[in-house]
Chains A and B, each alone.
Chain A
C-alpha cells in the first residue's frame, strides 16, 4: 500500500512538471495563437541551465556552481525566456506556419548543441547528480515522494495563480483579440508584435521553469530526453485538457501522462523483452487515439476555453453575462 502511495506521488510529481510546461504553452498557443512546435528545445534550455547552475563542480565540464535549487529553477526560466525572446524578435512578424518551422528548427539546433557541446552539456552522456529537493529523505521512498510532490504542487499552484492574474486581465484580452484577428486588433490600436513577444517570452519562462523542475525530480538529463516526442506530448496534454484554460492545461497534463505511464507499464509486462522497443510505439498510438476521441467528443478539450477573459468582469457581470466558464461545442 505504501509502495502504491509512493508510486502515486512520483507519478503525480512528474505529471505536474509537465503541467508547468503545458501552462507555458497555454500562454503561447491557448491565449495568443503562437504555434510553437519547439517546446522540447525550450524545456531543454531550462533543464540544462538549472543543472549547470546547481550541480557540484566537475573537472571535465563547465559549470558545477553548486547553487541552491531555487536559483537553478529561476535561472532556467530566465535563460529560456531570453532564448524565446531572441527567437521571437526574429520570427514573430512571420505568419504562423513560418513560426512553426522556425521553432521546430530552433529545437533541433538546441538538441544538437546539447549533444555536441560536450564541455558545457556533457554531450550524449548528459548531466547527472542533479540535486533533488529533499534529497536527504531519499532513503525513505514514501516521505521523499510526498515531499517532492508537495514541492511541485506548490510550484504548479504558484505558476497557475501568477498566470491567471496575468491572463485574466485586459492584457490577456488583447492576446485573445490578436489570436482571433490580428488585423482587427491592429485597427484598434494594439501592437501585435509587442504582445506576441511578451506572451512568447513569458510562456518560454514557464516552459524553462518546468524543464528545470523536471530535471531535478529525475536527477539526470541527456539530449535524448528532449526529442520532438516531448513537444507532441505537451501539445496533446493541452488539447485534451482544453486550450485557453489554465485548469485544463493541468488536467490534460495529468491525464495524458497517466495514459503514457499506464501504457508503458502494459507494454513492458505484455511484450517480450526483445519486442519492447518496437511495442513502445503503441504508447504514441494510444495518445493519438485519446486525442482523436477528445476532439470528437469535446472539440474544445475537456474543460474548454474560458469565455470571459477579464476577471474584473466576473464581479461586474449583468445577470446575462454570468456564465463564467462553459465549454463550447459550436
Chain B
C-alpha cells in the first residue's frame, strides 16, 4: 500500500492555538501552537514533565485549557467534552491502557462503536430487529479489527488477563470501532515487549496509510524516527523545536533538554 503524502499546505485537521494550562502556580502547558495536517503522523516528544500528556488531555477534551483554542476540521471544539470530540472524529488512547477489565475482549471493542441503536432504552424495546442487525454488523467489524490487531484468539476472555502490550492493542481496536479520522496515541510502545512492539508499529503505520492523521507521544526515538515525518518537541510546557526527526535529534537544545548538564 502506498502511503499518502501529508500535504503541509492543506488546512490542518487538528490545530492548537496558543494553548495554555495552568494548575494553580504551575504552567503545565504555556502557549503551545501546533497543527496536524491530513494524513500526517506527527511525533510529540519531550522529557518527563514536559507537558505532553496535559497537551493530549486538552486536545482530547479531558481538560479545558486555561486559554487558547482547539480547532478540529475547522470547527472550534475547545469546550467540547471528549464524547463530543469523538463524535467529531477525534479519538485518543491512554498512556496506561484502560480496558474494561471484567468485560470480554470482544465486548470491549464493541463498546467503541458509535451511534448504536441498542444503546438507547427506547430502541432496545421498540426496534429489536434494528438493534440485532446493527449488533451483528458491529460484531463482524470488531472481529475484523481483532484479527488486524492479533487479538482474535482472546475475544472471549476478560480484558484483565491481557498483557500490557495486548491491552494497548485492545485500546486501539476499541478506538478504531468509532472510525475516528484523527488519532491521539499516548505512548503506544511503553512497556511493550520487542516482538509486539514491531506489530504495534506496523499496525499504526497501516492506519496512517489508510489516511488517518496521527499525533503520537512516544519516548522511543527509534520508533518516532521510523514512523513520523515530523516531530514537535516540548520542554517545561513550551515548544522547544519542530522539524524532521533526523534534524531534531541533533538539535543541541533537544539534547540539552533530555540529558541536562550531562550533554
A and B associate in one complex: yes
Mark A residues whose CB is within 8 Å of B.
165-166, 169-171, 173-174, 176-177, 180-181, 183-191, 198, 202, 305, 307-310, 312-313, 316-318, 320-323, 328, 330
Q: Is the CB of B121 within 8 A of A328?
A: no
Tell me which of B100, B113, B136 contacts A316 (CB under 8 A).
B136
| Residues on the B chain within 8 Å of A181, using CB | 98-101
Chain B, residue nearest A317 (CB): B156
Is B3 located at the chain interface by the 8 A CB criterion? no
Q: Is the CB of B110 within 8 A of A173?
A: yes
Q: Is the CB of A169 within 8 A of B124?
A: yes
Interface on chain A toward B: helix, strand, loop, or mixed SS? helix
Of B14-22, B80-88, B195-203, B238-246, which stretch is located at the interface? Answer: B80-88
Q: Which of B92, B110, B178 has the most A CB atoms < 10 Å from its CB?
A: B110
> Taking A180-B101, A187-B60, A321-B156 as contacts, is the C-beta distance between A198 and B107 under 8 angstroms?
no
Q: Is the CB of B111 within 8 A of A173?
A: yes
Chain B, residue nearest A192 (CB): B83
Q: Is the CB of B103 within 8 A of A202?
A: no
Please give 9 more A-B residue pairs, beta carbons under 8 A apart, in addition to A166-B121, A170-B118.
A173-B103, A174-B119, A181-B101, A188-B86, A189-B87, A191-B83, A305-B102, A310-B107, A321-B106
Roughly how many angstroms separate A188 CA and B60 CA in the complex, as a whole number? 11
1/0 contact string of B97-138 vs chain A (CB within 8 Å): 011111110110011111011111100110000011001100
> Taking A188-B174, A189-B178, A322-B156 as contacts, is the C-beta distance between A183 and B98 under 8 angstroms?
yes
Tell me which of A165, A187, A198, A307 contacts B158 (CB under 8 A).
A307
Distance to closest chain B CB from A195 (angstroms) = 8
Q: Is the CB of A186 within 8 A of B82?
A: yes
Distance to closest chain A CB from B203 (angstroms) = 19
Is B224 located at the chain interface by the 8 A CB criterion? no
> Taking A183-B98, A191-B83 as contacts, is the C-beta distance between A170 and B153 under 8 angstroms?
no
Is B77 located at the chain interface by the 8 A CB criterion? no
Distance to closest chain B CB from A27 (angstroms) = 11
Of the A-B pairs whose beta carbons lie under 8 Å apart in the complex, a sample of 15, sorted by A's number, is: A174-B119, A177-B103, A184-B99, A186-B83, A187-B94, A188-B86, A189-B114, A189-B178, A191-B81, A202-B121, A310-B107, A310-B135, A316-B139, A321-B106, A321-B155
Is B91 located at the chain interface by the 8 A CB criterion? yes
| Residues on the A chain within 8 Å of B132, using CB | 312
Is B73 located at the chain interface by the 8 A CB criterion? no
Q: Which 4 A-B pairs have the closest CB atoms?
A: A321-B156, A170-B118, A189-B86, A184-B98
Docked complex: B45-100 residues within 8 A CB-CB of A: 60, 62, 81-83, 86-87, 91-92, 94, 98-100
Distance to closest chain B CB from A328 (angstroms) = 7
Tell me which of A165, A188, A317 contacts B175 (CB under 8 A).
A188
Residues of B within 8 Å of A, CB-based: how many?
Answer: 46
| Residues on the A chain within 8 Å of B101, using CB | 180-181
Is B160 located at the chain interface by the 8 A CB criterion? yes
Distance to closest chain B CB from A294 (angstroms) = 19
Interface on chain B toward A: helix, strand, loop, or mixed SS? helix
| Residues on the A chain within 8 Å of B102, using CB | 176, 180, 305, 307, 328
> Taking A165-B125, A183-B62, A189-B87 as contacts, is the C-beta distance between A320 and B100 under 8 angstroms?
no
Q: Which of A169, A174, A190, A330 has the most B CB atoms < 10 Å from its CB?
A: A169
| Residues on the B chain within 8 Å of A316, using CB | 135-136, 139
Q: Is the CB of A187 within 8 A of B111?
A: no
| Residues on the B chain within 8 Å of A173, using CB | 103, 107, 110-111, 119
Q: Is the CB of B111 within 8 A of A323?
A: no
> Taking A173-B107, A188-B111 as contacts, is the C-beta distance between A330 and B156 under 8 angstroms?
no
Tell me which of B82, B103, B107, B156 contacts A320 (CB under 8 A).
B156
Roughly how many angstroms separate A183 CA and B112 CA in the complex, as a whole number? 13
Distance to closest chain B CB from A137 (angstroms) = 35
Roughly how many angstroms separate A187 CA and B116 CA in the complex, as a whole number? 16
Distance to closest chain B CB from A174 (angstroms) = 5
Distance to closest chain B CB from A300 (angstroms) = 10
Chain B, residue nearest A176 (CB): B103
Q: Is the CB of B83 within 8 A of A166?
A: no
Q: Is the CB of A189 within 8 A of B107?
A: no
Q: Is the CB of B100 within 8 A of A184?
A: yes
| Residues on the B chain within 8 Å of A307, using CB | 102-104, 158
Roughly how many angstroms separate A322 CA and B155 CA in the complex, as a whole number? 10
Roughly how many angstroms separate A177 CA and B131 CA in the complex, as a whole number? 19
Chain B, residue nearest A184 (CB): B98
Q: Is the CB of B114 within 8 A of A170?
A: no
| Residues on the B chain within 8 Å of A318, using CB | 143, 155-156
Roughly how many angstroms separate A166 CA and B131 CA in the complex, as a whole number? 12
| Residues on the B chain within 8 Å of A310, using CB | 107, 110, 118, 135
